Structures are given as C-alpha cells and as structure tokens.
C-alpha cells in the first residue's frame, strides 16, 4: 500500500522556486491538509484502538524513555504506538488552531503554517512506516528526511540572533526573556562544540544508561591537550574561555540576567571557534567549512587519550559512545 497524503501536503508547504515538485497534486491545499489528518486517524485506528488520553502516567513512562534501552520488540512497538497517539492528538490541535484563527484554509494559509506542518510530516515518517510495515513490508510514506542534530555553529548563530532580537519588530518574547535565552544558547553551543570536536554525540555504559560526566570534562580535556588541538583564540586563551563557560552557570541555575554588555563581550570572545574558515583539503582544493575553525593533529593519539580519560573518570568501567561528523578538521600534516 502507498499513499500520496504526505507528498501532496509537502507540495503546498515548500518554497515554489527552490524545492517544490513540478507535479501539482490533483487536490487543493485545504484537502491535502485534511487528507493528511484523516490518514493519521485511520492509521491510528488500524494499528491501535486504545485511547491513552486519560492515562498520562502511562504515556509519560513510555514516550520519554530512551529507545536505546529497549530490550524487546513489544517494548519498541509500545513506544511507537504511544508516540503516534500523541502525534495525532497534537496535529489535531494544530488543525483546530488554524480553523479558529483563519477565516478559510487555502494555499496561503497552509504555507503560513508550513514550518510547523513540516515538523509533523518529517517527525511522523519513521513512526508511520514502522506501523504500516507490519502489514506491508515495502511501504514508504515519502522520500526524504530531516536531521535532528544541531551543529555548534547553528547554536552560536542562534545565540547571536537572540542578542539582537530586541531590535526587531513583532517580537514574540520580551527583551528580558531573550537575554536569558541568550546565555542558554551560548552555553549549549560551547558544550556541543567541545564534545563534537572529538565526534562524540552520546556516552553511555554497558546498560545503555548515560554516563555521569561533569559538564567541564571536555573543555578541561581540551585545555590539557592543546598541543594536539589547534584552537583559534586570537584575543584570549583556553583558561579565559573556561571562565566564560563557567560564568554562564549563574544565569542558567539562578535565572538572573547578566549585564547586557557582558553578553555582547562573551559572544565576541567565543566567536572565533565557531567562525567558518578556509582550509586546504587533501586534493589541494581550498574550501570554506563551518568545522574548519578547529584542527586536530594526530587524531589517533588524541582519541586514545580521550578514551583513557573517560575510562578513568567513569571508575574504570566499560562504556560506549555514539559518534557523528566531527566539528573539527583532522589535519595530520
């Protein structure tokens, strides 16, 4: 079995000149939106007749679990069913909001809510396909997907944007909240950058539980191994960068905003490690990369040191880590 409900709705929620398919659906934007909703209801009815709406305790226990800890197929399937149940409820709420706020539903209105609709479409894809493939092994909801990883560069850009947020029109959050979120974004961008220099995404033990490692573990390790890590800090050193990193704790843990010029200065001091930089590839071609601001020398030695340090910090216990694309360039020259 196949369905066009997703591809039809994607057509009306994409930029015409860049991403939109040349083949226009035979249904209107309104019908594509409602057909998508009706399909979700039909699939939920076919795959799970249980109503979880009055059992928050059960839902919370299911949907906020870490899928990595699942031991059996029934556990995974229950996770899929409960998540799908909540997804359909949330999409229904979106349709109700559109009905309440808009006089009609047309292509312009669907496009107005496209960002949120896209989130539903792409987030639902794996759940829909896993449910449908219980009866049709070849089912595909639509082609494509989205990434769930935020790069440190993107997070730092958000931090900068929040600093200038009070200057724009049509603000949704007030200036004080924007400043508070500013520090969250700065701290998160630094944490992610420090971890992903080594390609580390997640650390967990043999039971698939997260390792309890101090938040300053990675920046401290970097400070101890600067001979192997080319960190661009033209106006400050790593010790001073760590002071800024620790300084963000005050706002994060106490909800007390810093002076606005402190935020501006912190952004300026940290910007160099996020700045896209030119580097020469092995084929001698010069390219610009958001990962090239930091270069690693002798990656094998550095990774060995990191593994040993985590092992010692973890009480000499076995652990695993998920890795992703490094937010640094490996330069073995």
User: Which residue in the block uniquely carries the two structure tokens 């030695």?
Assistant: 301
Q: Pairing between strand 295-296 and 329-330?
A: parallel
CA distance 217 to 240: 16
Residue 319, SS3? strand
Task: Phi first, then psi: give them for residue 97, nearest 5 degrees.
Answer: -65, -45
Would you state the structure tokens that stand for residue 83, as one six-digit string? 């998540």
Helices (H), 175-271: 175-196, 217-224, 238-254, 260-270
As a whole number, the mean pLDDT across the chain is 87
Q: How far apart are CA 298 and CA 296, in angstroms?
A: 7
Domain-wise residue ranges, the chain: 5-132, 152-330
What pLDDT score does 332 carry?
61
CA distance 169 to 48: 46
Positions in the chain whose pLDDT score sits under 70: 1, 15-22, 332-333
Please name the residues in contact with 132: beta carbons below 8 A apart, sequence gap of 6 or more: 1, 43, 139, 141
Q: How much is the pLDDT for 56?
A: 84
- Its pTM stands at 0.77
pLDDT of residue 108: 92
Contact at 8 Å (CB) between 119 and 91? no
Q: What are the pLDDT digits (tens) for 149-205? A: 888 988 999 999 988 888 877 777 788 888 889 899 999 999 999 999 998 888 888
What pLDDT does residue 169 have?
72
Whole-number pLDDT of residue 333: 56
What contacts 39, CB < 8 A, 6 or more positions away?
Answer: 3, 5
Beta bridge partners of 319: 205
Identify whether the C-beta of residue 270 lies closer than 8 Å to the C-beta of residue 241. Answer: yes
With CA atoms as reference, report the closest residue to 98 among 5, 36, 41: 36
From 83, 88, 52, select the one nearest 67 (Cα to Cα): 83
* Burial of residue 24 (number of CB atoms within 10 Å: 0-12, 13-18, 19+): exposed
Is the sign of the CA dihedral 233, 239, 244, 248 positive or negative? positive
pLDDT at 65: 81
What pLDDT was estimated at residue 55? 83
27-68 confidence digits (pLDDT tens): 999 999 999 999 999 999 999 878 888 888 888 888 888 777
How distant is the alpha carbon of residue 4 from its chain centre?
A: 27
Contact 110, 101 (CB under 8 A): no
For helices 260-270 and 238-254, the axis angle rounded to 10 degrees is 140
């Amino acid at each position: 079995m196949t369905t066009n409900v997703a591809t039809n709705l994607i057509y009306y929620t994409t930029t015409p000149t860049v991403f939109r398919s040349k083949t226009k659906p035979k249904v209107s934007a309104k019908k594509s939106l409602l057909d998508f909703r009706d399909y979700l209801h039909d699939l939920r009815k076919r795959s799970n007749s249980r109503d979880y709406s009055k059992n928050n305790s059960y839902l919370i226990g299911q949907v906020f679990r870490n899928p990595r800890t699942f031991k059996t197929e029934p556990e995974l399937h229950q996770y899929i069913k409960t998540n799908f149940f909540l997804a359909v409820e949330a999409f229904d709420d979106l349709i109700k909001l559109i009905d309440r706020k808009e006089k009609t539903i047309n292509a312009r209105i669907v496009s107005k809510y496209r960002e949120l609709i896209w989130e539903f479409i792409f987030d639902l894809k794996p759940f829909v396909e896993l449910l449908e493939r219980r009866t049709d092994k070849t089912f595909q909801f639509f082609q494509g997907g989205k990434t769930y990883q935020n790069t440190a560069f993107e997070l730092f850009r958000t931090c900068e944007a929040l600093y200038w947020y009070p200057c724009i029109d049509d603000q949704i959050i007030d200036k004080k909240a924007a400043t508070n979120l500013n520090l969250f974004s700065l701290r998160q961008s630094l944490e992610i950058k420090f971890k992903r220099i080594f390609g580390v995404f997640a650390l967990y033990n043999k039971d698939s539980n997260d390792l309890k490692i101090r938040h300053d573990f990675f920046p401290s390790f970097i400070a101890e191994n600067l001979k192997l890590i080319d960190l661009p800090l033209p106006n400050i050193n790593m010790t001073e960068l760590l002071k800024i990193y620790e300084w963000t704790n005050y706002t994060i843990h106490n909800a007390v905003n810093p002076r606005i010029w402190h935020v501006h200065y912190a952004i300026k001091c940290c910007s160099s490690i996020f700045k896209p930089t030119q580097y020469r590839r092995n084929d001698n071609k010069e390219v610009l990369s958001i990962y090239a601001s930091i270069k690693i020398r002798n990656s094998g030695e550095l990774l060995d040191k990191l593994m040993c340090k985590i092992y010692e910090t973890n009480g000499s216990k076995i652990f695993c880590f998920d890795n992703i694309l490094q937010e640094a360039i490996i330069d073995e020259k």
